[in-house]
A and B are shown apart, each in its own frame.
Chain A
């Protein structure tokens, strides 16, 4: 893989600020993310990691600056070009496992009824089942999310997002609620999916080891300036941007680097 920024960036933030009234959350964020990167985002609580994610997701608009997706200004709205997996509540509890994956096809193919029928349904089912197999959930096809373990629910959330072939996959502490053993399995799964599908991933995590293990690049968000009398007056930005020169094909743990 080429070093970041050699290719045209898929996502670009130009001097992005997010402010609520006089509270500054993000200030002057400049970033360019190339296709195929796996960007881990770390930082203390309240350093704007989630705001950054919401910005890329389109849930939030910058108060200043520009967010560009493949060179075009990104509308502040969620869309199928950016998939997401949250820590919790990512899957729909009222749909079976297969229904959760199928629903992405149904949203695209049936704007009025929200359901597919006949040959189109069969075609979508075949793709959904293939994706379930890829994340190792084929055996749980007809179960409801409440019957699945936390790890299986996150596998399902990944499958659900990936059938839409998003240009960017956003992961918001996706493994934060999982047991260590399950987490290791999930790391392998995500690395594999990233490689096989040629994904561009932005993952917010609290776990620094995880950030370095999975990412090709680690971003640390923090505040550069701090006013003890008015802590909200300065926002956070990407204070460290660490490219990891890890070979894409060999997903082994990256050398432990220190974040300042």
Chain B
């Protein structure tokens, strides 16, 4: 008999196999929702798919009577701006620090322990400090995202660079490279694919910090909206927002992967 570990679905098989649990989840939800609505037509906990679609359509097309802006659009723009700023800050920091720490053992000796110390602090615990120090505006939210992910990214990149084959650093020196040239011509280019990878892994935590910051102090944003309508048990808004956030996250991940593959063809293993 064929062993289960030897069964490898083809491309179409994988597509179907992957879609199946999703469909089952959707079906299960529709069923549960229908049952609850049969008991109580005004049920708010499990809104029907059509009710959610109508609510999502309304949020995505109609301007809010108070602000005059389309709610979903305004929330998305605000959140993505914060997320982008936080990620940019963290990526820039991690790029420079990771390179320096990876290439210069002296810098690793000086800065390594401090970064390790910062990395173990739960970022949410310093959120009050950020709000006190930076005010309740955008700066504190962006700072939370950056502080939340930069230490991890820095450590990851530094370890990656330090783990590059020592032969390459020796070879570069025998070819006449100075320390700076070793950093920018040998270490930096090889670090770039890893930077994209570690950024992809950091997207999840970055979203967590964004939504946490928005939930606590904000007047626009995806996280703010979810926590606002929670008071009214408005699951018909919360669930579409959660779905929208996952779509954004998947799109960002796919984009990073695509850019990384295009930009660094040499890093694609098995290109032979």
A residues with a Cβ closer than 8 A to B are: 57, 59, 77-80, 82-84, 86, 88-95, 103-104, 106-108, 111-112, 114, 144-147, 157, 160-161, 164, 166
Are A92 and B186 closer than 8 Å at their CB atoms?
Answer: yes
Q: Is the CB of A161 within 8 A of B176?
A: no
Q: Is B229 an interface residue when CB atoms closer than 8 A count as contact?
A: no
A83 to B167: give the CA distance in the assembly, Å.
12
Cβ contact within 8 Å between B171 and A146:
no
Is B40 among interface residues, defined by CB-CB distance under 8 A?
no
Contact A84:B165 (CB < 8 A) given known A93-B190, A108-B176: no
* CB-contact partner of B168 in A82, A83, A89, A104, under 8 A: A89
**8 A Cβ contacts from B72-104 to A:** none
Distance between A155 CB and nearest chain B CB, rounded to angstroms? 15
Interchain CB contact under 8 A, A146 and B266: yes
Contacts of B264 in A (CB 8 A): 94
- Which residues of B from 152 to 187 have beta carbons under 8 Å from A? 165, 167-168, 170-178, 180-181, 184-186
CB-based contact B177/A107 at 8 Å: yes
Interchain Cβ contacts within 8 Å, total number: 91
B204 to chain A, nearest CB (A): 28
Inter-subunit contact A161/B165 (CB<8 Å): no
Quick one: which of A86, A91, A103, A111 contacts B178, CB cutoff 8 A?
Answer: A111
Verify B190–A78 contact, CB threshold 8 A. no
Docked-complex contact B167 and A79, CB < 8 angstroms: no
Least CB distance, A59 to chain B, in whole angstroms: 6
- Smallest Cβ distance from B181 to chain A, in angstroms? 5
Interface residues of B, count at CB 8 A = 27
Classify the interface of chain B: helix, strand, loop or mixed: helix
A107 in contact with B176 (CB, 8 Å) = yes
CA distance A84 to B175 in the complex (A): 9
| A160 contacts across to B, CB distance below 8 A | 171, 175
A157–B272 Cα distance when bound, in Å, is: 18
Can you list 6 A-B contacts (CB < 8 A)? A78-B170, A79-B176, A89-B165, A107-B172, A146-B266, A146-B268
Please name all residues of chain B whose beta carbon is closer than 8 Å to the beta carbon of A164 when the two chains form the complex. Answer: 174-176
A244 to B11, CA, bound (A): 62
- Closest CB of chain B to A137's CB: distance in Å? 16
Do the beta carbons of B167 and A147 come within 8 Å of each other?
A: no
**Which of B170, B185, B268 lies in contact with A84, CB distance below 8 A?**
B170
Contacts A94-B266, A114-B184, A144-B271 known; A84 to B174 CB distance under 8 Å?
yes
Q: Taking the nearest CB of chain B, how far is it from the CB of A158, in angstroms?
A: 12
